[in-house]
Every structure is written in structure tokens, then in C-alpha cells.
């Protein structure tokens, strides 16, 4: 059983994969340019998630309006770890903050938000552990777009295939097409601040 709070991701020595769901207009422009370009907005918070199945739950396998295209975005681990170092939890935790007032002050100033959401199974059921979601504010997005992103892949066809296999009762086959994810290491001092089990 995975720990209650840990980062599970597809990563190598230099990069980590995060997932986002977008409209066709944003996705096609991004894949073509291999970076985020208009109509992508630099002026609103963007959320990145390393859990494939959590995003499948959130976007209903790319069937929700405005979330029809699923992108696998490979970013530098340096960028990802910078985001983690700047992140503040989206809710008060007594093991991290001295008081709700201290949390509120830090959260209001935060350049990056961190939220733990219930992880999901292949069929969308809630699991007894969590998945990390990182919100990049407009103060950090330019750096994400210009320095962290190394590759943008449209994996919508793969998503459709997995969903089709699930719908036809072939869950075992569907599982074989899910991207592999392993535990991402986080330094103990940072882990404690982010509620990550160390």
C-alpha cells in the first residue's frame, strides 16, 4: 500500500512527466510549438499533476468540455523541485503551521499552491492515499513555459484506447497501457513541510 502522502510519477534523472487536460485549440498550438503559446494564458494559475489516473478522473478520460486533449508534459526536475520548494498547502495543517493565521499569511503570499487529492483507481474509485497537484501562479508560469518544459506530447489517442478497453470490460488490457509511476524522492526537510511521508 502506498504511503498516505507521497509523490508517484514517471521520471528519469533529468525530467518528470506531468499531465494537463486542455481544449483542442490550446493543445494543438502547444504540441506544434513544443511550448505553451496563445491561446494558453500566462495570467491565470495552471495546475500540473504527475498522476495519470487522477487526471483521468478529473477530465473524465478527456470527455469533459475544454479538457478533450490530454497532454503529457516533460519538465525539468530542477523546475519541479523549485515549484515544490515554493509551494504552500491549500489548507491548514497543524503539523506544518503554528496556527491557522500563519498558514493564511503564507498561503496569501504563495507563488505555488500544493493540494493533496484522493488518488483514483483505474475505474475512478477513491483510494486510501493521495495524489499531489501543484498550482503555478502567474508569477511562476513564464518560467514553467520558457525554462522547465522540455517536451509536450498529445497522449489523447492512448487515453481513448485505455478508456475503450475499460468500457468493453478489458481492464487487464487497459492496465498495460497506463504510464508507469514510481515514488519520487524528496529531501526530508522539504517533505515535512509538504506533508510528504518520509
pLDDT tens-digit profile of 122-138?
999 999 999 999 999 99
Residue 60 within any structural domain of the chain: yes
Residue 1 within any structural domain of the chain: no
Residue 157 within any structural domain of the chain: yes
Condensed to tens digits (0 to 9), the pLDDT of residues 58-93 reads 999 999 999 999 999 999 999 999 999 999 999 999
DSSP 3-state assignment of 115?
A: strand
Residue 26 within any structural domain of the chain: yes
Tally of structural domains, the chain: 1
Residue 73 within any structural domain of the chain: yes
Residue 16 within any structural domain of the chain: yes
| Separation of alpha carbons 128 and 115, rounded Å | 16
User: Which residues span the domain enclosing 143?
Assistant: 8-187
| Separation of alpha carbons 133 and 114, rounded Å | 6
pLDDT at 197 over 80: no
- Taking each helix axis as running N to C, give the angle between helix 52-59 and helix 156-167, from 0 to 180 degrees, rounded to the nearest 10: 80
Mean pLDDT, rounded, for 38-62: 97
Contacts of 118 (CB under 8 A, 6+ apart): 126, 127, 130, 131
Q: How many other C-beta atoms can be found within 10 angstroms of the C-beta atom of residue 147?
A: 13
Residue 2 within any structural domain of the chain: no
Residue 177 within any structural domain of the chain: yes
**pTM here?**
0.95
Amino acid at each position: 500500500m502506498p504511503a498516505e502522502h507521497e509523490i508517484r510519477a514517471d521520471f528519469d534523472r533529468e525530467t518528470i512527466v506531468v499531465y494537463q487536460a486542455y481544449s483542442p485549440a490550446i493543445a494543438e498550438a502547444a504540441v506544434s510549438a513544443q511550448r505553451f503559446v496563445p491561446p494558453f494564458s500566462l495570467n491565470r494559475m495552471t495546475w500540473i499533476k504527475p498522476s495519470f489516473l487522477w487526471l483521468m478522473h478529473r477530465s473524465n478520460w478527456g470527455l469533459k468540455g475544454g479538457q478533450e486533449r490530454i497532454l503529457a508534459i516533460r519538465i525539468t526536475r530542477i523546475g519541479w523541485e523549485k515549484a515544490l520548494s515554493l509551494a504552500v498547502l491549500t489548507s491548514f495543517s497543524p503539523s506544518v503551521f503554528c496556527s491557522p493565521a500563519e498558514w493564511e499569511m503564507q498561503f496569501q503570499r504563495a507563488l505555488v499552491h500544493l493540494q493533496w487529492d484522493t488518488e483514483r483507481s483505474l475505474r475512478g474509485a477513491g483510494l486510501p492515499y493521495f495524489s499531489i497537484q501543484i498550482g503555478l501562479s502567474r508569477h511562476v508560469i513564464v518560467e514553467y513555459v520558457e525554462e522547465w518544459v522540455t517536451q509536450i506530447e498529445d497522449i489523447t489517442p492512448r487515453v481513448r484506447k485505455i478508456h475503450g478497453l475499460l468500457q468493453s470490460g478489458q481492464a487487464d488490457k487497459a492496465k498495460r497501457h497506463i504510464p508507469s509511476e514510481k515514488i519520487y524522492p524528496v529531501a526530508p526537510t522539504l517533505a515535512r513541510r509538504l506533508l510528504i511521508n518520509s
